[in-house]
Copies of this chain bind each other. A is one copy, B any other.
């Protein structure tokens, strides 16, 4: 059975497992006070060329999002997000559970439009009744977005400038950041991300780790980060589990290499699908591909291929999502293209 359901169908990249095995019986301090966590932090700071950044490691995207947003907002502030943003749709109300509103903007293939953001903010402050409304306190974007698209450097810069003008931090959800950075058609580097956002995270779970996200505060800090993480149930006694993984991911370029592989597989897949006459629902330059497929064919495909139902397209067709990852093999792509 082929499985293109997601980029988290396997365990960890073998190099990560190796490192976990090798270090397993070392006696290390808990709660992130171990040497591997420290190494991982140093490697990340070096990569983003920001020695004063603050880095913490967390277990998953929703946890990271809620910890960041809860802790950067004042009680009367909310977070701006594309209406399709993960925090607004698929996190079970995690942000609101911390007491804050998600203020949604129209999404354009998953992205917010820099001009619409600017308008939202200027309209807010021009509204004579805005003291009865939720103040915009931070902006959330995902990159790649939930539908695989990417911001251009110019878009990022414009959003950054608007945020700066309004003095609100920009937070970037990088659950699949590696796949974004290694896309053929991006002009955005990791350094750009670190420069144009105030807080962001580098996703591990979907890019080769067993579990883990690296949260980075560059231009905006919060004090007592450990306590804030502890309060939300995100502090691991065996912090090594996260430290060792990110130390490995950022050794010898592993994170970028495996992301690149996934992109190459996605490109093969896309090319093959187009050649077979399929139409894409969204033109995604990353590892998630969205294909329009007739309902019949989709139903039949289910016995050979695991994919992810995305939405209805029209009366006869649906959209499915096919995802590649560090673990995808070229022969699986070939077989998929044969089978579908």
Contacts and interface: CB of A to CB of B under 8 A. Distances in A.
Contacts of A28: 9-10
A233 B228 CA distance: 14
Chain A: interface size category: 35 or more
A67 B233 contact: yes
B206 A237 contact: yes
A133 interface: yes
Interface string A74-98: 1110100000000001111110111
A210 B75 contact: no
A14 interface: yes
A227 B78 contact: no
16 contacts: A8-B238, A11-B26, A11-B241, A17-B24, A59-B233, A61-B237, A71-B75, A76-B224, A90-B129, A91-B230, A92-B134, A94-B230, A132-B227, A133-B227, A210-B238, A211-B236
Interface of A: 1, 3, 5-6, 8-12, 14, 17, 20-21, 23-30, 59-67, 70-71, 74-76, 78, 89-94, 96-102, 128-129, 131-135, 205-206, 210-211, 223-224, 226-228, 230-238, 240-241, 306, 309, 327
